[in-house]
A and B are shown apart, each in its own frame.
Chain A
């Protein structure tokens, strides 16, 4: 028996919008701790980890640990039917091959039940330890989204370098090149407008912008984004979900090409 009641239903909608383009099918794991998901994209280049802690739900009942395979596109279709102020309840019965999403309007005058078929997904679960990073950049999520979008109109990859000067995003393409440098800036009115750079060691890594742009679909979830970098390790792009948990995207870096054969 499973029953998760989330007052802030729009949150779930946003989460789905953030990850459905990266991953098509995934297992949602439900345990006493919370509602979580871990999945890799089909190229095994990016990984998304989602956690919604049980405390964040108004009502959270999960008798046994279960894993439910869902097609994220179908799930998103259903969640789109929920109003932004609706309360969403996820319900499942033991032994059932479906899951139900119940949408209640805030005034309780409309209640909708959507039932979705589950699927069997063969996925591997990776343990991801917390790691020490060479550099951690905290910045407004909208700013990061803007940078990725702007750069992708110039090139396919972004080089993110952190030095004591600040953090630099650069790209190069057929039509030219672009460099964007952000400096540490904590003297702002609102804390969510700050840019905070913690650096233990300078680091510079190259990533496919295609993936970064896909990650920024999570921007509506949080006003801040945290980017953690270490050389030769995947970058972590984290969007905190207020009082509930996080969506973390991991992306394997590109390898610098030594030939210019590929540079047209």
Chain B
């Protein structure tokens, strides 16, 4: 299909010298002022060749049908020279329409995008699209939307913007909705696929320096000044002109490249990833480099919570279906739709299924078309902390409830499919199957005959089979993480099962716990040290529960989980629900649950601690504002070796200036700041209002935060990411709970160091 083309005019007019002279001088004239006022990088590359080449390109593109971004550039190609559908993969539809977002300019987009802020009800989804229906949605559109959102703080406005953005995409190019949703969520695949971009700063710096013709040290220097590679990318002015400007980026194209980057593995994978990033950067203009880099770093930071995105998606779907009236029993369709999408996402966190169903079957049918399916892990249901047996008895006054041991191990979801395959997922939906081959065997062996498929919620606990004893969590954490062979296992684990979500083709999420538990008991054989049901009693007698709690602690458990049996007893994925309460032994005397906090800074040690850090500044995470808020300094609870270890590991995470998304008082003045990387479980005596710290600022006091008293380190939470640290909402809740329970003894001091 391709031939040696006749010469399209490129740089010069070949025929007459005078003509070319004229062209040249015109060029140099237009170039000089142009190149001076360019603040942005790749955006306005002062490329003379662009102007000249564009003619050639336009002519060339007329001859060649424009294709959508190739699903795979590595596809074998046939030698058949006869003209044929050049892209056999594309549906006939995509071939008919031109997919090139060439018709829209950045200026046009910029002028139109603020319209997205209008109330969703008054918004016309065709008013913003600066591209023709059926064309691939330009990436610049998404970036301008991100820009718009980053300047807003109200949740409602942001929801409206995102909703209107989705509607615009649906109105022109519905097939681009999925990549748009993924990019807005800053994800590339469902969590259980385990796909990660896996790009270090070093690769980005390299790609950036090559893309704009600067040296790595220049880029690094600027990074140190600005602390955000995205901003560096945006302000990097290119010193290198181009032969011709690449095609504008599209949402689908960028997302596809991201997926390719994530899938790159093996030899030279870093190099290949870098080259792909470079290709994106070269084509990026205006604010695109900024968001491109942030997306690549998985640090979008535009205050877009997942829940907002889901709500916006639901609302967009409602507007999209305006012709079809919602079921008559629904009062406020918008809220209802948001709820539906959130609910469906919680049982099937896979956009690849939800978005197409939303478009084809509509939001009201979504629960039918997308439901829990084995093989796709859901977020585990979580429990709220309580502080004493009496509180539990009070809360669950009229309902039947049960108490189970709270085992100290790793939460796991075991999926057993009809074909006999088994997968084990962690609480973060990571595939842990390779870490627990013994569990795979045990689970398959101890299911009763007649059980064809199941999804089990359980705790995997280190276990000494000789002494028939539960071992502490620390022992479990010494197990290897990947590709464990059964013969190499030194630490045995026992499965303590407490819930079943799916059995023989039937989802059980909507069943009451009582029913689920019966099914669980009916479906498995217990075998001590391999598979046991969580020890449980059903009682509402205060003393009996107290005794049960003591027993649990004696049996090396953390405490109890108390669950309602009949009322509101369905399984709520990833919710911290009031229907599950946790009661730990050590809650009794102090603030209740421990907190998971992120070290963001440290102070140099003195005296005995010279050479390591003496104290750390910890922060909780505010998921609404996407920021880390300082909560306390911590210096106790460290053994010498632990302190050494933490200091070493954090030393490599030192950054010259605090991140813009750290909230702290200026008076703190730590010696070094860290990248947010680790999560530490910390216990404290109690919570107080603090003028220095910033946790949950504005919630309990307009300009004071909450701080921990006498914090001490329990352990490092390797299963949590910094964004999963205790949220400021949780901190505020704990603070109010404490006030409620101990109105008079705020000065309770605990001293068991």
Contacts and interface: CB of A to CB of B under 8 A. Distances in A.
A60 interface: no
B211 to A, nearest CB: 6
Interface stretch (A9-17, A37-45, A145-153): A37-45
Contacts of B537: none
B9 A127 contact: yes
Given A29-B3, A119-B74, A231-B28, A126 B278 contact: no
A255 interface: yes
Which residue, A33, A43, A125, A253, has most C-beta atoms of chain B within 10 A?
A: A43
A237 B18 CA distance: 25
Interface residues of B, number: 66
Contact of A92 (B11, B70, B79, B218): B79
Interface in A229-264: 230-234, 250, 252-255, 257-258, 262, 264
Contacts of A47: 243
Interface stretch (A63-71, A102-110, A161-169): A63-71
B28 A234 contact: no
Which residue, A25, A67, A98, A253, has most C-beta atoms of chain B within 10 A?
A: A67
Judged by DSSP, the binding face of A is: loop
A175 interface: no
A132 B15 CA distance: 10
Contacts of A127: 5-10, 56, 59-60
Contacts of B79: 2, 66, 68, 92-97, 99, 118
Contact of B75 (A45, A120, A233): A120
A45 B10 contact: no
A67 B240 contact: no
B12 interface: yes
A69 to B, nearest CB: 5
A46 interface: yes
A211 to B, nearest CB: 9
Contacts of B625: none
A92 B77 CA distance: 12
B10 A128 contact: yes
Interface residues of A, number: 60
Interface stretch (B45-53, B477-485, B515-523, B731-739): B45-53
A39 to B, nearest CB: 11
Given A43-B210, A119-B75, A128 B7 contact: yes
Given A66-B81, A232-B28, A264-B217, A129 B9 contact: yes
B415 interface: no
Contacts of B262: none
A189 interface: no
Contacts of B17: 132
Which residue, A36, A65, A118, A232, has most C-beta atoms of chain B within 10 A?
A: A232
A205 B5 CA distance: 30
Contact of B243 (A93, A99, A234): A234
Interface string B3-43: 11111111111100100100010011001000110000000
B74 A29 contact: no
A97 B75 CA distance: 10
A118 B10 contact: no
Contacts of B27: 232
Contacts of B46: 255
Interface in A60-88: 64-69
Given A44-B243, A96-B78, A131 B12 contact: yes
A208 B213 contact: yes
Nearest to A44: B242
Interface in A5-29: 24-25, 27, 29
B27 to A, nearest CB: 6
A234 B11 contact: yes
Contacts of A222: none
Given A119-B73, A255-B239, A262-B239, A42 B279 contact: yes
Contacts of B24: 230-233
A258 to B, nearest CB: 8
Given A43-B210, A127-B6, 10 more contacts: A42-B279, A45-B213, A46-B243, A93-B79, A126-B243, A232-B24, A232-B28, A252-B240, A255-B35, A264-B218
Interface of B: 1-14, 17, 20, 24, 27-28, 31, 35-36, 46-49, 53, 56-57, 59-61, 67, 70, 72-81, 87, 210-211, 213-215, 217-218, 221, 238-246, 275, 278-279, 282
Top 4 A-B pairs, shortest CB-CB distance? A127-B8, A67-B2, A97-B76, A131-B12
27 contacts: A31-B3, A36-B4, A44-B244, A45-B240, A46-B243, A64-B81, A95-B80, A97-B76, A97-B77, A97-B78, A120-B72, A120-B74, A121-B73, A122-B70, A125-B2, A125-B5, A126-B10, A126-B243, A128-B7, A129-B12, A131-B10, A132-B17, A232-B48, A234-B49, A255-B35, A255-B46, A264-B218
